[in-house]
Amino acid sequence: MSEERFLAIYEALSQQGFGPLDGEVAKQLKFRPKAIKKLPMEKRAKRARANLLSARNTEMTYELFGSYLVKQHKELITGFLDATGVDHEDGMISDIDECKPDAEKIGPAIEELDGKYPADDVTLYLALSAEHWPDVPQVVDAWRTRQAPAAK
């Protein structure tokens, strides 16, 4: 993911001038939490992104991107779940191991989402879904196929 894309997500999740990982960035820089706002958002986002990459913090990364999708594109999540037959309540799945998408419905669901949402957001959701359902090859393959061009 590019720095620009990460910055856009970081800014979308900011509240009252604080980015979602500014507390972690402040600790790393030995700043007081309120003093972190003196740094431009671009620098804070760049530092947060580097921290996620260096720590390989899958859980924090998942939470950050999941929060972004819920805040900005909840209908993308519920649309995929509805289209693939995953039982959920307002996008929340009660048992991720038991509720898996119908393999035959995944392709058409992704096509529908691509017609409604930015491709980057659909790809981001597929990345999170591949984490949810690593044993559903259609989800994993769809994400990897979309990911390949971006990696070049």
Q: Tens of pLDDT along 12-50?
A: 999 988 988 899 899 888 998 888 988 999 999 999 998
One domain for residues 37 and 66:
no
Contacts of 129 by beta carbon, 8 Å cutoff, 6+ apart:
80, 101, 139, 143
One domain for residues 125 and 142:
yes
One domain for residues 100 and 113:
yes
The domain total for the chain is: 2
User: What are residue 14's phi and psi, to 5 degrees?
Assistant: -70, 150
Please report how many Cα atoms fall inside a 13 Å half-sphere around the Cα of residue 111, on the Cβ side. 5
One domain for residues 64 and 27:
no
One domain for residues 24 and 50:
yes
Q: What is the pLDDT of residue 115?
A: 95
One domain for residues 44 and 25:
yes
Measure the CA–CA gap between 102 and 133, rounded to whole angstroms.
Answer: 11
One domain for residues 81 and 10:
no
One domain for residues 38 and 99:
no
Q: What is the pLDDT of residue 152?
A: 40
Residue ranges for the chain with pLDDT beneath 70: 55, 148-152
Q: Model's pTM, two decimal places? A: 0.82
Measure the CA–CA gap between 117 and 122, rounded to whole angstroms.
Answer: 7
**What is each CA distance from 77 to 25, 70, 111, 116, in whole angstroms?**
29, 7, 14, 12
Measure the CA–CA gap between 110 and 136, rounded to whole angstroms.
Answer: 15
**For the chain, first and last CA: distance in Å?**
11
Q: What is the pLDDT of residue 148?
A: 60
One domain for residues 40 and 75:
no
- Domain range spanning residue 103? 60-151
DSSP secondary structure of 47-94: HHHHHHHHHT-HHHHHHHHHHHHHHHHHHHHHHHHHHTT---BTTB-S
Asked if residues 46 and 5 have their Cβ atoms less than 8 Å apart, the reply is no
Q: What is the pLDDT of residue 53?
A: 84
CA-only gyration radius of the chain, Å? 17
Q: What is the pLDDT of residue 55?
A: 66
